[in-house]
Amino acid sequence: MKFKRVAIILFALLVLLLAVNKAYYTYYPNQLSIHPEMLSMINTETHRLKFMRKDTRLGQIILDRMYGKYDSIILPNDYPLSTPTSAEFTLPQFRYKCRPHILREHPGLRYNLWKHQSPDVILLGSSIFFCDFSRQEFYKRYPDKYLLDFTTGNNTPYIASWFVHYADSIGLQFKPGTIVLYGMNRVEMLEEYKSKTSHDHVKDAITKPQSKKTADQLIEEYLCLPQLRYDVTNALKNKYDELFRGGNMYRKAVDKRHLESEAEFIKYIQSAAVKSDKTNKFYPDRVTEIEHLASFLEQKGCKLVILKLPQSQYNDIILNTTGHSWFDEEATQFDHDNITYIDVSDMNSFGITQLDYIWPGNIFDPEHLNIEGSEKFTNALMKQVLDTMFTKQTTIH
């Protein structure tokens, strides 16, 4: 009798816990929550995930800011919008209700949009570019242009090239004169950084059709059990980071006293950075991959533009690249008529300071400009580079 009573109590407790779990993740979803038909965004100040229906007033505002004229294609079509896994692909920054957010978008959306309208501008590169480039500012200046963002986290020339070739393999048409901007991160050109198969999960998300969910999967999803497991493992990972990665300056909070001025912050960077004398040479195979990409784009009548992006002084010190000579010297290996190399790393001329690498919560991220920095960079890039290129593009068309 006692056993039966205990069993009933335990079962009731289990049901209660599942109900609480379901209620919590309904109001406070995490990055494993999957609603591919909705816009998925994260507030970079609170780190809260929010889903937005595309057909609401606010949803349409976000579509207009992040996709320009492509919004008229997204609205009537049932395309997956948000990322299908907890893995991050492209996370562009934008302002929503005046607060900084990032968008978690499905990597296959780009190809669905291309089917309807070929882009005028294609973005290639890694997170340094999708954080540095503000689509919102782009569409303010060029409301009639079509832009598709093929950047992805931890990118390499192999995946950048695959993105473009895959478009060709499914019969998408390239518009002659299309500008392909490759925002380059020096790390992705190093031999030891990521292999050719490192982005297979991205390819799978693009090429594999969505499979029908089993009854077990539907129940698991309804009860939000994957989110619970994900949060538990992340909590453990955070503890690990605190114990073993405490000395790493990347994405660490900086005391406010170091942020009173750029001069003060630079002093702090110089004292905190460990100088490296390691030689960081471009790996020949990756240079060759870029050149093959340039040849392919030349056949399509498109121009490949390599952009050397701004870097924080902290990165310059630890990568032993103080000044501009090392990167510029390596870039001379891009020996191809269809490659234009442009140095847009001069922070002063772009109105960027070292403080533009400080994210909400005083987090120093030496690789990625914050939203204010990305807006300043993009506006300067458009005035100094894209205005001229669009004039030439109009002549071609």
Overall average pLDDT of the 373-383 stretch: 97
pLDDT at 353 over 90: yes
Q: How far apart are CA 206 and CA 48, in angstroms?
A: 26
Overall average pLDDT of the 283-290 stretch: 96
Summarize pLDDT for 21-60 with one digit per residue, the tens. 999 998 899 888 888 899 999 999 999 999 999 999 999 9
The pLDDT of residue 1 is 63
| CA 291 to each of CA 18, 148, 165, 294, 295: distance values in angstroms, whole numbers, following the listed order | 55, 21, 14, 5, 6
Give helix 215-223 / helix 2-27 axis angle, nearest 10°: 80
The pLDDT of residue 3 is 81
Burial 187-213 (b: 16+ CB within 10 A, else e): bbbbeebbeeeebeebeebbeeeeeee
The two tokens of residue 105 are 């978008």
The pLDDT of residue 31 is 85
The correct answer on CATH 3.40.50.1110 for the domain covering 52-211+248-396 is yes
For the chain, the distance separating the N- and C-terminal CA atoms, rounded to the nearest angstrom, is 84
- Closest to 307 in 3D by CA, of 197, 235, 381, 394: 381
Summarize pLDDT for 58-104 with one digit per residue, the tens. 999 999 999 999 999 999 999 999 987 777 789 999 999 999 999 99
- Percent of the chain scoring above 70 in pLDDT: 95
Ordered strands of the 252-253 beta sheet: 252-253, 363-364, 358-359
CB 251 within 8 A of CB 363: yes
Domain ranges, ordered by start, for the chain: 52-211+248-396
The pLDDT of residue 126 is 93
Summarize pLDDT for 108-167 with one digit per residue, the tens. 999 999 999 999 999 999 999 999 999 999 999 999 999 999 999 999 999 999 999 999
pLDDT at 324 over 70: no
pLDDT at 397 over 60: no
* pLDDT range class, residue 283, cuts 50, 70, 90: very high
The more confident residue out of 251 and 288 is 288
Ordered strands of the 39-43 beta sheet: 49-52, 39-43, 99-103, 93-96
Residue 223: CB atoms within 10 Å:
15
* pLDDT range class, residue 307, cuts 50, 70, 90: very high
The pLDDT of residue 218 is 87
